[in-house]
């Protein structure tokens, strides 16, 4: 049961479950992957720094601070992207084409229903 919970998509703003593909929807696995991606970048930087530059041990210890910084940066980047997608990105459902529409609601003739849970604009 716990394995299934990590693949549930939820909206960051309302913390409600949403369908897969909803703008601003995230999973716990996705957020962990974003943090892991940031930490891989930080570890890569520190390893290249150690292998290519001669420096004292005090400088190496200072460079280790890059790893948590890039981890947080990766996570924050993913969260900001999801928040912008949930609030500003339009997606609707075109009643004529029976497809998801990423254009403005007035670009096609027909009724376009908003799919986002939050409508700011």
56-99 pLDDT, tens digit per residue, is 777 888 889 999 999 999 999 999 998 888 887 766 666 676 66
51 and 105 assigned to the same domain: no
Average pLDDT, the chain: 78
69 and 119 assigned to the same domain: no
Q: How much is the pLDDT for 84?
A: 87
Question: What single-letter DSSP state applies at residue 3?
Answer: H
82 and 107 assigned to the same domain: no
Domain that holds residue 100: 91-121
**Residue 12 · residue 79 · CB < 8 Å:** yes
16 and 67 assigned to the same domain: yes
User: What sign does the CA torsion over 74, 79, 82, 87 have?
Assistant: negative
38 and 11 assigned to the same domain: yes
Q: How much is the pLDDT for 2?
A: 46
The total of structural domains in the chain comes to 2
Ramachandran region, residue 51 (left: φ > 0; alpha: ψ -120 to 50; beta: rest): alpha
Convert the pLDDT of each residue in 49-59 to its tens digit: 888 888 777 78
97 and 55 assigned to the same domain: no
Q: How far apart are CA 31 and CA 5, in angstroms?
A: 14
Per-residue tokens: 9: 């998509």
Put simply, whether the predicted model's pTM sits higher than 0.75 gets the answer no
36 and 84 assigned to the same domain: yes
Ramachandran region, residue 53 (left: φ > 0; alpha: ψ -120 to 50; beta: rest): beta
7 and 34 assigned to the same domain: yes
């Amino acid at each position: 049961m716990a394995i299934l919970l990590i693949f549930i998509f939820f909206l960051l703003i309302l913390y409600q479950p949403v369908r897969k593909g909803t703008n601003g929807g995230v999973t716990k696995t996705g957020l962990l992957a974003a943090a892991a991606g940031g930490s891989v970048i930080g570890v890569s930087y520190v390893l290249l720094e150690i292998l290519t530059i001669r420096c004292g041990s005090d400088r190496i210890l200072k460079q280790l601070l890059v790893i948590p910084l890039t981890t947080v940066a990766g996570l924050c980047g993913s969260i900001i992207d999801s928040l912008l997608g949930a609030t500003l990105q339009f997606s609707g459902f075109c009643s004529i084409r029976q497809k998801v529409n990423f254009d403005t609601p007035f670009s096609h003739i027909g009724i376009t229903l908003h799919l986002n849970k939050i409508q700011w604009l």
